[in-house]
Amino acid sequence: MLRAFITLAFVVIFNFFLFRMLPGDPIGLYARGRNQDPEQLVELRRALNKPLLEQFLTYLRNPFDSTIDSTRFSRPVWEMIGERLWPTLLLLGTAILLASIIGIWIGIRAGWKPGGRFDRLSTGSTLILYSMPEFWLGMMLLIVFAAGAFGIPGMFPVGGISTPGVDTSSPMGWLNVLWHLVLPCTTLVLIYLADYALVMRSSLIDERKQEYLTLARAKGLRDAMVRKRHAVPNALLPTVTLIFLSLGFVVTGAITVETVFSWPGLGLLTYEALRGPDIPLLQAIFLMFSIAVIVANLIAELLYVAFDPRVRS
Amino acid sequence: MTLLEFRDLRVDYASSEGIVPAVRGVTITVEAGETLGIAGESGCGKTTLASAVLRLLPDSAQVRGEILLDGVDILTMKWGTLRAVRWSQAAIVFQGALHALNPVQRIGDQIAEPIRLHQSVPEKQIKSRVGELLTQVGLPASRAKSYPHQLSGGQRQRVMIAMALACKPALIIADEPTTALDVMVQAQVLDLLTGLVRDASTGPDGGMGMILISHDLGVLGTTCDRIAVMYAGQIVESGPALEIFDNPKHPYTRALAAAFPRIGDPEARYSPTGLPGDPPFPGDLPTGCAFHPRCPIAVDTCRQGAPELVQVAPHRMAACFKVGS
Amino acid sequence: MSISAQRRRRGLAQFANSFRRDRTGMTGLVILAIFIATAILAPILIPDEALDVTKADGGRFESPSFSYPLGTDEVGRSILLMLAWGTRISLTVGLAATLISMVIGTTFGIMAGHFRGVGSQALVGVTDWFLVIPFLPLAIVLATVLGPSTLNLIIVIGITSWAGTARLIRAQTLSIEGRPYLERSKALGAGNWYQMSRHVLPNVFPLVLANTTLTVAIVILSETTLSFLGLGDPGAPSWGALLDRAFSSGAVSRGAWWYVLPPGICVVLVVLAFTLVGRAMERIVDPRRAS
Q: Is the pTM of this model over 0.90?
A: no
Indicate the pLDDT class of residue A137, thresholds 50, 70 and 90: very high
Asked if C133 lies within 8 A of A29 by C-beta distance, the reply is no
Residues 6+ apart with CB under 8 A from B235: B26, B27, B28, B228, B229, B309, B317, B319
* Neighbouring subunits of C (3+ Cβ pairs under 8 A): A
Q: What is the mean pLDDT of residues A221-247?
A: 88
| Residue C3 identity (one-letter amino acid) | I
Indicate the pLDDT class of residue B270, thresholds 50, 70 and 90: very low
pLDDT reading at A71 higher than 70: no
pLDDT reading at A33 higher than 50: no
* Neighbouring subunits of B (3+ Cβ pairs under 8 A): A
pLDDT reading at B227 higher than 90: yes
**Degrees (nearest 5) of the Cα angle A50, A56, A60?**
140
**CB interface of B with A, residues 4-33, below 8 Å:** none
Mutation site, C268, C279, C282, C289, interface A, largest A CB count within 10 A: C268
- The answer to whether B77 contacts chain A (CB < 8 Å) is no
| Residue B242 identity (one-letter amino acid) | L
The answer to the question of residue B44 being in a domain is yes
Q: What is the mean pLDDT of residues C181-194?
A: 72
Whether there are 3 or more C-beta pairs closer than 8 Å between C and B is no
Return the pLDDT at A48. 61
SS3 per residue for chain C = CCHHHHHHHHHHHHHHHHHHHCHHHHHHHHHHHHHHHHHHHHHHHCCHHHHCHHHCCCCCCCCCCCCCCCCECCCCCEHHHHHHHHHHHHHHHHHHHHHHHHHHHHHHHHHHHHCCCHHHHHHHHHHHHHHHCCHHHHHHHHHHHHCCCHHHHHHHHHHHCCHHHHHHHHHHHHHHHCCHHHHHHHHCCCCHHHHHHHHHHHHHHHHHHHHHHHHHHHHHHHHHHHHHCCCCCCCCCCHHHHHHHHHHCCHHHHCCHHHHHHHHHHHHHHHHHHHHHHHHHHHHHCHHHHC
Q: What is the mean pLDDT of residues A51-64?
A: 64
Residue C134 half-sphere exposure toward CB, CA atoms < 13 A? 28
Domain C15-287 matching CATH 1.10.3720.10: the answer reads yes
Query: Domain boundaries in chain C?
Result: 15-287
| B242 φ/ψ angles, rounded to the nearest 5 degrees | -65, -40
Is the bond into B114 cis (omega within 30 degrees of 0)? no
Return the pLDDT at B67. 93
Asked if B101 lies within 8 A of A212 by C-beta distance, the reply is yes
Owning domain of residue B89:
1-316
As a dihedral over the C-alpha atoms of residue B281, residue B282, residue B288, residue B294, rounded to 10 degrees, the angle is 40
Q: Could you give the ipTM of this predicted complex?
A: 0.85
Burial call C207-219: b when 16+ CB within 10 Å, e when fewer:
bbebbbbbbbbbb
Return the pLDDT at A119. 92
Instruction: Kindly report which listed range (B174-178, C4-8, C35-39) carries the lowest average pLDDT score.
Output: C4-8
Return the pLDDT at C48. 67
Distance CA A166, CA A143 (A): 25
Query: Checking DSSP bridges between strand B61-69 and strand B72-73, what pairing results, if any?
Result: antiparallel
Helix (H) / strand (E) element for A60: namely helix A52-61
pLDDT reading at C290 higher than 50: no
Return the pLDDT at A103. 94
Taking the CA atoms of chain C, what radius of gyration do you get in angstroms? 22
Distance CA B105, CA B101 (A): 8
DSSP single-letter state for residue B9: E
3-state secondary structure of A277: coil
Residues 6+ apart with CB under 8 A from C12: none
What residues are paired with B18 via a beta bridge? Answer: B15
What residues are paired with B6 via a beta bridge? Answer: B28, B67
Return the pLDDT at C291. 43
Q: What is the mean pLDDT of residues A104-114?
A: 93
Return the pLDDT at A31. 52
**Interface size between A and B, measured as CB pairs under 8 A:** 72
Return the pLDDT at A77. 77
Number of domains in chain B: 1
- The answer to whether A215 contacts chain B (CB < 8 Å) is yes
CATH of the domain at B52: 3.40.50.300
What percent of chain C stands above pLDDT 70? 87
Return the pLDDT at B229. 93
What percent of chain A stands above pLDDT 70? 80
Of A168 and B70, the structure prediction assigns the larger pLDDT to B70
Count of other CB atoms within 10 angstroms of residue C272: 21
Return the pLDDT at A69. 65
**Interface size between A and C, measured as CB pairs under 8 A:** 139
Of B19 and A40, the structure prediction assigns the larger pLDDT to B19
3-state secondary structure of B12: strand
Q: Closest partner residue to A127 among C228, C275, C291, by Cβ?
A: C275
pLDDT reading at B324 higher than 80: no
Count of other CB atoms within 10 angstroms of residue A173: 14
The CA distances from residue C223 to A136, A184, C80, C148, C158, in Å, are: 13, 22, 20, 12, 10
Question: Quick one: how far is CA C95 from the chain centroid?
Answer: 5
Distance CA A307, CA B161 (A): 28
The CA distances from residue A7 to A196, A250, B228, C152, in Å, are: 26, 19, 63, 26
What percent of chain C stands above pLDDT 90? 12
Distance CA C219, CA C93 (A): 8
Q: What is the mean pLDDT of residues B112-125?
A: 88
Average model confidence (pLDDT) across chain A: 81
Asked if residues C282 and C210 have their Cβ atoms less than 8 Å apart, the reply is: yes
The answer to the question of residue B174 being in a domain is yes
Shortest alpha-carbon distance between residue A134 and chain C (Å): 9
Task: CATH 1.10.3720.10 in chain A: give the residue spans.
Answer: 84-307
**CB interface of C with A, residues 166-225, below 8 Å:** 217, 221, 224-225
Asked if A230 lies within 8 A of B91 by C-beta distance, the reply is no
Query: Checking DSSP bridges between strand B316-318 and strand B310-313, what pairing results, if any?
Result: antiparallel
3-state secondary structure of B175: strand
The answer to the question of residue B324 being in a domain is no
What residues are paired with B174 via a beta bridge? Answer: B93, B212
What percent of chain B stands above pLDDT 90? 27
What residues are paired with B21 via a beta bridge? Answer: B12
Asked if A274 lies within 8 A of C135 by C-beta distance, the reply is no
Of B124 and C269, the structure prediction assigns the larger pLDDT to C269
Which DSSP string do the residues of B43-83 spell out, in sequence order? TSSHHHHHHHHTT---TTEEEEEEEEETTEEGGG--HHHHH
pLDDT reading at A97 higher than 90: yes
The CA distances from residue B156 to A138, B86, B100, B199, in Å, are: 54, 21, 10, 22
Asked if residues B20 and B13 have their Cβ atoms less than 8 Å apart, the reply is: yes
Exposed, middle or buried: residue C249 (CB in 10 Å: 0-12, 13-18, 19+)? middle
The CA-to-CA distance between both ends of chain B, in Å, stands at: 34
Return the pLDDT at C288. 58
pLDDT reading at A134 higher than 70: yes
Which strand ranges, in their side-by-side order, compose the sheet holding B209-214? B90-93, B171-175, B209-214, B35-39, B226-231, B234-240, B316-318, B310-313
What residues are paired with B5 via a beta bridge? Answer: B29, B68
B198-221: pLDDT as tens digits: 777 655 556 888 999 988 888 888
The answer to the question of residue B323 being in a domain is no
Average model confidence (pLDDT) across chain B: 85
Return the pLDDT at B262. 55
Return the pLDDT at A63. 60
Asked if residues B175 and B207 have their Cβ atoms less than 8 Å apart, the reply is: no
B48-64: pLDDT as tens digits: 998 999 999 988 899 99
The CA distances from residue C132 to A95, B259, B296, C147, C239, in Å, are: 22, 55, 64, 25, 28
Asked if residues B314 and B304 have their Cβ atoms less than 8 Å apart, the reply is: no
pLDDT reading at A87 higher than 60: yes
Return the pLDDT at A24. 46
- Of 3.30.2450.30, 3.40.50.300, 3.30.450.20, 1.10.3720.10, the CATH number of A84-307 is 1.10.3720.10
Query: Checking DSSP bridges between strand B90-93 and strand B209-214, what pairing results, if any?
Result: unpaired
| Residue B183 identity (one-letter amino acid) | V
Indicate the pLDDT class of residue C177, thresholds 50, 70 and 90: confident
Asked if A252 lies within 8 A of C240 by C-beta distance, the reply is no
C216-272: pLDDT as tens digits: 999 999 999 999 988 888 777 888 888 888 888 877 777 778 888 889 999 999 999
Q: What is the mean pLDDT of residues B135-159?
A: 89
Shortest alpha-carbon distance between residue C269 and chain A (Å): 8
